[in-house]
Amino acid sequence: MTGTDRAVLMLRLAAPLQSWGGPSRYNLRETHPEPTKSGVLGLLAAAEGRTREASLTDLVGLQLGVRVDQPGTLLRDYHTSSDYRGLPLLSAKTNAKGQQTRTTPPKYTSVTRRFYLQDAVFVAALRGPRALLKSLEQAVRNPVFPLSLGRRSCPPTGPVSLGLHADNTVEDALQGVAWQAGSHRRRQAQGATVSLEATVEDPAGDQSTVDVPDTYDLKTGTRFGRRTVRHLWIPVPTGRTQQDHPATDTDTTRQPDHDPFALLGW
């Protein structure tokens, strides 16, 4: 396949809350610190209107790279649920008729811990066949199903697509997109460039992650495959022409800056 037959689709993944879970389930729902391949492909499948039973073979072959433009902070949600009628909760077991049974001994409240990323912004690059990515880019702009960043309760903020770009390495594609962090984050930048953490899918990488889905079918469940990645830092322009210098003791004209979000790392 020649370079003209391939392209790179760029996505902006930003929202008040995101949650990129992996194999975690039941009472503990964790989140990865950055988007997983399973989560990104799920977003694309939803945009195209694929059913949960549909094949993912063409999507799994896409090469993924993720840049952390704004890491956000971790939120733990202490979540409880119970039957409004005061009845014992259903268990995961079923009887001979396939009906769920009540918990024994009776359990009236279920407690779960769910983790989210707050105020995070990521840039994702997907490299693969141009025809497929062109179709996916159009679907992201006009999705069949609502888009979400990991969970249905996490809709994205603003447009997701950053457009279809000419064929390039995933690393170079991530370096070519402007910094997508929020204005409060960008104001903290002191120099002309900022180094952003990134993870790139690479067969020669030195680390592996287990987040490649085989299906989204609820009946069979998802089994996650392994892929090899490497971590790196990508320099991106901040838009500043020179470094800002703090006021000195003899500078009586400049008022000291006050950023209430600085203590939160934003």
Strand ranges (DSSP E) for the chain? 6-18, 28-29, 63-70, 73-81, 90-94, 100-102, 110-129, 161-166, 193-201, 207-213, 224-237
pLDDT cut 70: percent of the chain above it? 87
Q: Write out pLDDT tens, residues 65-78.
A: 999 999 999 999 98
Of the candidates 205, 204, 197, the residue with the CA atom closest to the CA atom of residue 232: 197
- Between 248 and 32, residue with greater pLDDT: 32
Residue 78: phi and psi, rounded to 5, are -85, 110
How big is the chain, counted in residues? 266
Residue 47 scores a pLDDT above 70 = yes
Residue 249 scores a pLDDT above 50 = no
Mean pLDDT confidence for 50-62: 95
pLDDT of residue 29: 85
- Whether the CB-CB separation of 193 and 236 falls below 8 Å is answered with yes
Q: Write out pLDDT tens, residues 210-237.
A: 999 999 988 888 889 999 999 999 999 9
Tell me the fold of 3-76+118-264.
Alpha-Beta Plaits (3.30.70)
- Whether the CB-CB separation of 171 and 200 falls below 8 Å is answered with yes
Residue 248 scores a pLDDT above 50 = no
pLDDT cut 90: percent of the chain above it? 64
Q: Write out pLDDT tens, residues 119-168.
A: 999 999 999 999 999 999 999 999 999 999 999 999 999 999 999 999 99
| Domain assignments of the chain as residue spans, ordered by start | 3-76+118-264
Given CA atoms 226, 227, 233, 236 in this order, what sign does their dihedral have? negative
